[in-house]
Every structure is written in C-alpha cells, then in structure tokens.
C-alpha cells in the first residue's frame, strides 16, 4: 500500500514538474519572438476580435510563464493545476475544432511554424490527461491530509489522549 502511494506521489511530482517545464518553455518560445507572430497564430483560429487577439498575444505568454513556475514550485497546487487543466482543455478543444473544420493553421503552442496535426493533438491530449491527474491528486492528497474529528466512544466517556501527540495537540 505504501509502495503504491509512493508511486502515485512520485508520478504526480514528475508530471507536475514536466508540465510546469513545458509551460515555461512554451512561454519562452513566444516571448523571445515579436508578439505579432503569436497574434497571427491566435487570429488564424478565427474566434476572437482583433483587439482581444492583441491583448491575449501580449499577456498569455506571461500567464503561461507564471503558471509554469508556480506548478514547478508546487505552490497553490489545487488552484494552479486546475487552471492549467482548464487552459489545456481550451487549447485541446480548439485544436479539435480546427481539425474538424479542416483548417491548416499554426497551432501557436510553442511559437509559430507548427501546423495542427495528429501529433500536436496527441501531445496536447497527453498533457491534458497528465494535468487532470495532477489536479485530481492535488485534491485527493489535500482531503487525505485534513484531520478528521475523533469520534466519541458510544459509552460517553472521554477518549484516552494519544501519547504520541504533544500535550497541546491531545487536549
């Protein structure tokens, strides 16, 4: 049981760091180039007005960078992993939509120059699966760490204090 818990814990850790690293890399790939290139990638999905495209092109890479770093650090894990999962779900859905509409457009995932294909969909789908697993584990581990109130014995007597706990905790 302890071994399987360890496997789950290590898998979650590795997935979290890998996902965080991918987000940092994706942000760097966009930030090192003029924002207009990412704007053209977003615009090719033909979903948003130009003003929103421009705003997103200028801000999303910074958001991805922050999310990636927070994920690697393991801070606010339930919130950060949920946002990453939601973001990946949006990206993945947009790719599927583009594929259904036979749009041969740049994915925009890691800067320009990568057309949407089964490879990009497989990659983003895998990332989404990994992210959902990390999110699930973040909530499960949180619940298992939350102490439950001790049940009172049926005969109404006070439970014996746990000798392994410090006095203040056993009171």
Partner 1 sequence: MRLAVIALTAVLAAGAAGPAEDKGKVLGSSTAPLRLEVYSDFACPACRTFHEQTLPMIVHDYVMNGKLAIVNHEFPLNIPAHKHSREAANYATAAARLGIYEPVADALFRSQESWNETGKVWETVASVLSADQQKKVQALVKDPSVPAEVQHDVEAGTREKISSTPSIFLIRGAQRLPIPFPVNYGFLRSLIDGYFK
Which residues are at the interface with partner 1 (CB under 8 A)? Answer: 33-34, 36-37, 39-41, 43-44, 50, 53-54, 104-106, 108, 112-113, 115, 117
In the complex with partner 1, the residue whose CB is nearer, 20 or 61, is: 61
In the complex with partner 1, the residue whose CB is nearer, 56 or 129, is: 56
What DSSP line would sit under 118-140, residue for residue? HHHHHHHHHHHHHHHHHHHHHHH
Least distance (Å) between residue 112 CB and partner 1: 4
Q: What angle do CA 52, 57, 62 make, to 5 degrees?
A: 120
In the complex with partner 1, the residue whose CB is nearer, 22 or 42, is: 42
> Distance between CA atoms of 29 and 37, rounded to whole angstroms?
11
Least distance (Å) between residue 40 CB and partner 1: 4
Least distance (Å) between residue 78 CB and partner 1: 35
CA distances to 84, 94, 121 from 39, in Å: 21, 15, 21
In the complex with partner 1, the residue whose CB is nearer, 67 or 94, is: 94
CA-wise closest residue to 106 among 62, 36, 45, 28 = 45
């Amino acid at each position: 049981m302890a071994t399987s818990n360890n496997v789950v814990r290590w898998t979650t850790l590795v997935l979290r760091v890998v996902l965080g690293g991918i987000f940092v890399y994706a942000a760097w790939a966009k930030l090192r180039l003029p924002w207009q290139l990412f704007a053209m990638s977003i615009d090719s999905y033909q979903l948003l007005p130009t003003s929103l495209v421009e705003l997103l092109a200028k801000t999303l890479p910074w958001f991805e960078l922050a999310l990636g770093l927070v994920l690697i650090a393991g801070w606010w894990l339930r919130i950060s992993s949920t946002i990453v999962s939601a973001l990946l779900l949006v990206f993945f859905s947009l790719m599927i939509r583009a594929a259904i509409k036979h749009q041969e457009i740049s994915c925009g995932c890691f800067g320009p120059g990568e057309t949407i294909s089964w490879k990009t969909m497989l990659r983003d789908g895998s990332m989404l699966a990994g992210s959902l697993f990390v999110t699930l584990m973040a909530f499960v581990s949180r619940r298992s760490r939350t102490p439950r109130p001790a049940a009172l014995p049926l005969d109404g007597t006070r439970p014996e204090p746990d000798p392994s706990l410090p006095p203040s905790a056993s009171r």
